[in-house]
Structure 1
Amino acid sequence: MTKEEIFNKIAAIIADRFEIDQSKVTNEMNLQKDLDADSIDFVEFVLELEDTFGSEISDEDAEKLSTVGEVVDYVAAHQAK
């Protein structure tokens, strides 16, 4: 899966979960500041990513993900080969 395909899936998840227009999602978007996501929102988002992409994201790794671009890069690097 290309980074563009990964980004599009993540943008769709964000748009649905946080009720924003998918076209407003950018790689630079900060998950906590721009989306006003609290810790529960973030955990649910990570769980949905795991289900969507079929890979596990450790709590330690999840804490390091702050922007959409970082999430895309992480998923791209850890997708099932």
Structure 2
Amino acid sequence: MERKKIIATVNDFLVNEFEVDSDEISNEANFKKTLGLDSLDYIDLVVVIESNFGVKLGEADFKNIVTFDDFYSKIEHKIAEKNA
């Protein structure tokens, strides 16, 4: 899956399912601060990622995510691993 499609899909479900203001989503924006998710929200996010991309992110995957660009890259990497 190409990166543009990943970004569009992620941004779409963040806006529609997590009620994030689309103006606050940018590659450089702080992922955790912008989303303000609690632990249950992270579980929902993992489920949405799995249903949209067929990959699962674990707790360790979120530790190194600082920006939205990091998040997109992590999903892209997981998809590549799955398809390898």
Q: TM-score, normalised by structure 2?
A: 0.77
Once superposed, which parts of structure 1, at least 4 consecutive aligned residues long, lie more than 3 Å away? 20-24
Answer whether contact 2:24 2:34 (CA < 8 A) is retained: no
RMSD, aligned CA:
1.8
- Per-residue deviation, residues 4-41 of structure 1 (Å, max 9, x unmatched): 11011000111012223435421223232112222211
Aligned position for 2:16: 16
Identity %: 23
SS in 2 for 1:34: helix
Q: Distance in 2 between matches of 1:56 and 1:35?
A: 19
- Per-residue deviation, residues 17-75 of structure 1 (Å, max 9, x unmatched): 22234354212232321122222112211221111100122221133323221111011
CA distance change for structure 1 residues 61 and 20 in 2, over 3 Å: closer, same or farther?
Answer: closer
Q: Distance in 2 between matches of 1:42 and 1:72?
A: 15
Aligned position for 2:53: 53
Aligned residues: 81
In the alignment, structure 2 segments of 5+ residues that lack a partner are none
